[in-house]
Amino acid sequence: MSVDIFRKPMHCYILLSIWILLLVGGVYKFLEPKPKYSTSSIGTDQFHNLVFDVKTKRIFKICNLPGDIKSGNEGFKSKQWSLKGVLVLIRHGDRGPLQHVTNISYINCGYEEWNTHLKLYQEYLHNLTVLGKISWIGPGSFHGFPVLPTHMTQCQIGQLTMQGIVQLLKLGHILRESYVGIWQKLFNLSHSEVVVYSTRYRRTFQSALAFLYTFITGDTLSKVTILESQSMSFCFKDCGCPIADTFYRSLRKHITKQLFSHPAVALLSETTGRITFSVGAEQGLLGADPHSVRDALLTYICHSSSLPCNSLHNCVNRRNVAGIFSYTDWVNHQKWGNVNWRRYCLLKSYGLIKHIVSQMLHMVSNSGPYLILYSGHDHTLEQLSTALGLQNDPHLLRYAGRIIIEVYNNNLQLLNGARDVYFRILSNGKDVTRQVYFCKELLNVRQDVTLCRIEDIVRFIHDDYFTSLNFTNFKDSCVIKNV
């Protein structure tokens, strides 16, 4: 296990400062033009990939390559506890960059392994959409959306890649295996027992389909309608909240100020951005945000492509990548502790948490649905995690990341009529229930299984949700005061 220096802010800050001093040296070295006649450096420039090792392991985790998607602690076998239902929140799979990047046509966004599963899925979709051999309830309001990425190997701006499809197929597959012998219902779900929401993006819609194909099988999938969420936060009826944007702006201001006080990082980000982004006018602007640079670099890193170079053969190197990632990880860690961020997430996630609670109650009252899928974005996962009080996990925001909520019934409940119902939360396969701050009495079933009473989350959403904002309801909390 690597030592996680980002857990201790102060310690980390000192280390970061030392590291920034070292970095400055590196940055200037990196800006030096290469000797003109050195044939070796020009030739090798184009072939330096980021190699997987102890130091870069953290970075590759974000890619979440299909081979790294393994079963976690989802589901547990017990005579006393029966699994009533499951809520799944996923981030879409691997996608192309959000902006134009250098040499994108040389990057291979396809995926070679797991080919038989992918082929079968392609055939299924072909039967479904082209041949009409399987009758399909239909894509609902996603009518007209392609069900697969339009290119097999080419990276497209903002679009899911074939690697992304394989990630979701794999995720559905391993989760289904996790529930064998634990959740019988999964193997006999009717279409009315499954509810699926996706944001209105191709990448989330396509991710939802691929996930469901292996998780509930193609038979059930063809009878399910995909519902649209108009918001990335899945806020349902509780969306508009002007003060949330005010909180967000304060946070942004703070983050920008932080970058100003780290000029070496700002310079690193700008020079790296200049090489990475390919559209002239935007290079400087995008490079000014280390988070944009980080996102763009993932396009090379997650597809084993060599890091980008400019026409003068100045290349982004391993140290630059490490610098951008350390800094952005550190900013995210700081953000997690920022009060404006927490308030923002609380307000943004209210609609979703309210929806989750009502679904939990349907599950325990045996009316169903029993499987809810929300197909969303990194923002969705991080806002919900923050609102629930979960600790910052630097690997949370990986492609095809997952948060799963399981609802359990105690079969040995007392005969006083009260229902003994619980839930647990897993973040990328790890039980994080004990981090949920409103859970009063946690039940440790075993080392990796903790349960929280559903009563606690019901009380939270009805009585305590807005306490930290000094209000009692969403509407009042959202009004901008003293302006």
Ligand X SMILES: *[C@@H]1O[C@H](CO)[C@@H](O)[C@H](O)[C@H]1NC(C)=O
Which of 127, 231 has the CB closer to ligand X? 127
Q: Which DSSP string corresponds to 132-180?
A: --S-----GGGTTS-SS-S-SSB--TT-B-HHHHHHHHHHHHHHHHHTT
What does the block give as tokens for 187? 């193997």
Q: Which DSSP string corresponds to 68-97?
A: G----S-----SSEEEEEEEEEEE---B--
Residues in 330-389 that interact with ligand X by CB under 6 A? none
Minimum distance from CB of 65 to ligand X (Å)?
23
Query: H or E segment at 8?
Result: none
Near ligand X by CB under 6 A: residue from 15, 24, 26, 46: 46
Residues in 179-218 that interact with ligand X by CB under 6 A? 188, 190, 218
Rounded to whole angstroms, the Cα distance separating 111 from 166 reads 7
Which of 229, 314 has the CB closer to ligand X? 314
Near ligand X by CB under 6 A: residue from 15, 24, 42, 120: 120
| Part in contact with ligand X (CB under 6 A); list of ranges 9-17, 118-126, 344-352, 363-371 | 118-126
Near ligand X by CB under 6 A: residue from 19, 76, 124, 325: 124
Residues in 213-272 that interact with ligand X by CB under 6 A? 218
Minimum distance from CB of 133 to ligand X (Å)?
5
Residue 226 contacts residue 198 (beta carbons within 8 Å): yes
Residues in 274-313 that interact with ligand X by CB under 6 A? 309, 311
Minimum distance from CB of 175 to ligand X (Å)?
19
| Part in contact with ligand X (CB under 6 A); list of ranges 102-110, 137-145, 367-375, 391-399 | 102-110
Minimum distance from CB of 415 to ligand X (Å)?
27
User: Which x/- pattern, by CB under 6 A, does the window 131-160 give for ligand X?
Assistant: --x---------------------------
| Part in contact with ligand X (CB under 6 A); list of ranges 122-130, 142-150, 330-338, 419-427 | 122-130
Near ligand X by CB under 6 A: residue from 56, 127, 231, 246: 127
Q: How far is CA 44 from CA 41, 265, 313, in A?
A: 5, 26, 10
Minimum distance from CB of 348 to ligand X (Å)?
15
Rg of the chain over Cα atoms, rounded to whole angstroms, equals 24
Is residue 103 involved in binding ligand X (CB under 6 A)? yes
Near ligand X by CB under 6 A: residue from 447, 470, 482, 483: 470
Minimum distance from CB of 102 to ligand X (Å)?
5
Query: H or E segment at 328?
Result: helix 318-336
| Location of structure tokens 């399910």 | 224
316, amino acid identity: V
What does the block give as tokens for 482? 């003293």
3-class secondary-structure state, position 64: coil
- From the list 409, 476, 477, 464, the residue with the least C-alpha distance to 436 is 464
The residues, ordered by sequence, that sit 6+ positions from 135 with a Cβ below 8 Å of its Cβ are 222
Residue 269 contacts residue 292 (beta carbons within 8 Å): no
| Part in contact with ligand X (CB under 6 A); list of ranges 20-28, 117-125, 381-389, 402-410 | 117-125
Q: How far apart are the first and last CA of the chain?
A: 50
Residues that bind ligand X (CB under 6 A): 46, 102-103, 106, 120, 123-124, 127, 133, 188, 190, 218, 309, 311, 469-470
